Structure 1
Amino acid sequence: MRLHVDQRHERVLELVRERGSLRVAELAAELGVSAVTLRRDVEALAAQGRVQRLHGAVVWPGDTTAAPERRHESAEGAVIGMIVPTTVNIFADIVRGAREAVGARGGRLVLGVSGYVDAEDPVQAEHLIEGGAQGLLVAPSWFGGVPEDGQEKWLTQCPVPMVLVERSAPPGNPAADLDRVRTDRAHGAAVAVGHLASLGHRRITAVLQEGPHAVQIGTGFRAAVRARGIEVADGAPSVREHGDYEASVDYLVEAVRERGVTAALVHSDEDAIVLVPRLQAHGVRVPDDLALIAYDDEVAGLADVPLTAVAPPTRSVGELAAKLLLRRLAEKAAGQRPGPRQHLDLLPELRIRSSCGGEAPAGDAP
């Protein structure tokens, strides 16, 4: 029979008093509850001064047998969980940046992968916390990049500190109070438009892959073309489904031949690499007939026509997110009041190559 929360608290106190200290996982198993539930109980009891909470363990007040474990309550040697939708594409470098930052403090990064399945995010979180993660770096599987229909609820109930990575919540959403680090993708799109404008292009369009970053990129694109008085073929960026190359090719060919479009922003660079030879097969040459800028710069420099690309600072996103989380853990360990929540937006850069016309500047990385 499931215990009422008050009964559970009394049972926790009884067991910890008898044994001096218990691992959270052991105590949760003995009570027949999840580790997440047990951690909430322990947080409540610790706030009342009835138990002491150490890394992965609960200790009776005054018991010094587990004192050596206190070192884990600081940022030094911390176990950090990280939940990402995939370990390829931009997230490969984000994970590397986070791992290096945690490792530099003597800690360990443990990875969970959701596979872009929203319901998997809290499952991975519970697993990581049960395994001893003291804090979480999370890139939730929000298709539009922001939470919908209560997708953020589990985040706001999580018992450990966390930082959002490459995701954000709109003002008024409970998850907006969380720390976050992300790429300012709207700025990257605006930089791309500015470069095309500097080359004399006055009629441009965008073909954007559906997904978490499309709204940001589209917003930046629209704002930039309005600010510069540039015409857009269809009045707004065209959002195409990833892999729907024929529709994208038909759209761009028609835009060039019928609407006078001379330049395009394409997300992602993988899609751009696929589109270039297909456009050429239809008689639209890059960059002669259509200047092209890709977005992400993972493999853009390896294209037959090296692609100018917007490059998000992926490794820095992971690094700064990890450092911010480690700072929160250090504040918590020291009993300090947390500093102001932070929303960090990092600016991408434009790497110029041949796809906009001419050659890349001397010394430009491929």
Structure 2
Amino acid sequence: MRQSVEERQERILLLVKERGSLRVAQLADELGISAVTTRRHVEALAEQGLLRRAHGSVAWPDAPAADPAPLPGQQRGAASSAVLGLVVPAAYYYYAEVIRGVKAAANAAGARLVLGISDYRPEEDAAQIASMLDTGVHGLLLTPNWAADTPTAEEEGRILGLGVPTVLLERRAASGSAAAELDRVCTDHVHGACAAVRHLAGLGRRRIALLARENTPTAGYVATGYRTGLAALGLTAPMTAAETAAAADFEARLRRIPDLVADGRVDAALVHTDTDALVLLQHLQARGLRVPEDIALVAYDDEMAALADVPLTAVAPPKQALGEAAVGLLLSRLAEQPGTASPRRHLDLLPQLHVRASTRVAAEG
């Protein structure tokens, strides 16, 4: 017979009172329900002051919480290293280097890393985080899949209610919001796009186009940097807003660039990402247009730009350094003594411009 919510919660209270403290995962096994459902019951009871939660365990209010599970090779009761959870959208392309940086910094500090991949699905964010909390991570590094550049109220509430120190990685919350008070480490993509525009203008290019898909967390910052860079140099975008709206489909805008180059309306382009920059290069070559003589190209991300037929100049976010810096922030937060708290930190790292053949010849000419 299926138990009611009240019956499950009563059973949880009896088990915890009897044993003093338990892992949430242990509770789930004993109740025969999922860890996610168990966590929901525990959270409800903790809000009423009937239980106490800490690092994936639950305790009777006057009993100590269960110690985190020992690391491999450690005896229970021995001093254990921090256990850090990292949730990112993917383990390839951009995030492979970020993961490498997190792993290197965690290893150097003697911390254990637990990795979760969300596959760009918001519901998987929640599942990965819940699993990590149940296994007792001490802190979290998160790149959540927010539909917009900043979280909704519901998404913000979930992040703020995790109960462990959390650092956002390549995600920003709007200034003034509660989530903006979290520590974060990000690439300054506005600066990166500005640097690309300055570089192209320095080559004498005045008709600089932007090609960026609108459905990525980075695109908005790249677009802001592009517009800021043009304005600082007294330049205007070669495509009007009406023309851009008329070709709202990204692939259609990309295919139109060779026509604009042939007509003399575009002589340079900043393209986010590398993959789309490579596709544009192929379209240009198919029309007999030369890079960089007819059009100078700068890619954004620098994952595979150097492998192009004409190696592409690219803006390179400091991906590995991002991961290393995020671990540093989280470990610093974990090391704080109870009752003390240093100011929250927002760390922006500047990307670098790697100049290659897609702009170099024009500079020499």
Q: What TM-score comes out, normalization by structure 2 length?
A: 0.83
Contact 1:28–1:38 (Cα < 8 Å) also in 2: no
Match of 1:62 in 2: none
Gaps of at least 5 residues in structure 1 are 58-66, 362-366
Show the counterpart of 1:342: 345
Q: 1:231 corresponds to which residue? A: 236
Structure-2 change in CA distance of 1:137 and 1:290 (3 Å): same
Structure 1 window deviating more from structure 2 (130-139 vs 34-43): it is 34-43
Residues 351-360 or 310-319, more deviating: 351-360
Deviation at 1:262, TM superposition (A): 0.8
Q: Which amino acid aligns with 1:109?
A: L
Q: Secondary structure at the match of 1:125?
A: helix
- Which has the larger displacement, 205-214 or 169-178? 169-178
Matched AA of 1:252: I
Match of 2:155 among 148, 151, 154: 151
The alignment partner of 2:299 has SS state of strand
SS across alignment from 1:297? coil
Listed one character per residue, the Cα deviations across residues 218-252 of structure 1 (whole Å, up to 9, x for unaligned) are 0111011011101211246969999x54x244321
Q: Which moved more, 1:282-291 or 1:1-10?
A: 1-10
CA distance in 2, matches of 1:339, 1:11: 39
| TM-score between both structures, scaled by the size of structure 1 | 0.83
Structure 1 SS opposite 2:292: coil
Where 1:168 maps in the other structure, the secondary structure is: coil
- Taking structure 1 as reference, are residues 13 and 70 closer, same or farther at Cα in structure 2, changes over 3 Å only? farther
**Structure 2 unaligned spans of 5+:** 70-74
Percentage of pairs with the same residue? 42
Q: CA deviation at 1:37?
A: 5.2
Q: 1:314-348: per-residue Cα shift (whole Å, max 9, x none)?
A: 001111111111122222xx324121111111100
Q: 1:274 to 1:145 in 2, by over 3 A?
A: same
- Residues 4-55 of structure 1 deviation map (CA, whole Å, 9 limit, x = unaligned): 99967853652234xxx53342235446652465375423899996122344
Instruction: Pick the aligned partner of 1:114 from 114, 118, 126.
Output: 118
Structure 2 partner of 1:260: 265
RMSD: 3.0
Cα displacement (A) at 1:145: 3.2
Deviations 1:242-283 (A, max 9, x none): 9x54x2443212322335211110011121112112111123
The answer on whether the counterparts of 1:144 and 1:213 sit within 8 Å (CA) in structure 2 is no
CA distance in 1, matches of 2:223, 2:282: 25
Aligned-partner Cα distance in 1 for 2:363–2:263: 30
Aligned counterparts of 1:121 and 1:71: Cα–Cα separation in 2: 30
Aligned-residue offset at 1:360: 9.5
Report what 1:63 is aligned to. none
Corresponding position: 1:52 with 2:60 = no
> Could you tell me how far apart the structure 2 residues matched to 1:352 and 1:235 are?
28
Q: Look up the equivalent residue of 1:315 and give its one-letter code.
A: Q
Name 2:97's counterpart in structure 1. 93
> Displacement, 1:146?
2.0
On the 8 A contact 2:27/2:38 being kept in 1, the answer is no
Distance in 1, matches of 2:239 and 2:363, equals: 30
Is 1:78 matched with 2:90?
no
> Counterpart of 1:255 in structure 2: which amino acid?
L
Q: Which residue of 1 aligns with 2:72?
A: none
